[in-house]
Amino acid sequence: MDEWLTSRIFGFPLMLLILSVVFWITIEGANVPSSMLATLLIDNGHSALKGLALGMGLPLVA
């Protein structure tokens, strides 16, 4: 395996393939926490803040 990864012919393409896989895992893996934050902040947080603002008597903005 070391001969393949360090050879002049296969070294760069294999390293670029490994880098691409790691990059793809990073981007795809970020979707899970991102969707959790969006659900927490937009779905739950917005309605809670709106209710708090209405309770304080602040005017609604269209």
pLDDT score of 57 = 92
The pLDDT of residue 62 is above 70: no
Q: What is the pLDDT of residues 17-56, one digit of tens each?
A: 999 999 999 999 888 889 999 888 888 888 888 899 999 9
Mean pLDDT, range 11-18, rounded to an integer: 91
Structure pTM? 0.52
The pLDDT of residue 60 is above 90: no
In angstroms, the Cα distances linking 45 to 27, 41, 48, 58, 59 are: 25, 4, 5, 17, 18
The pLDDT of residue 5 is above 80: no
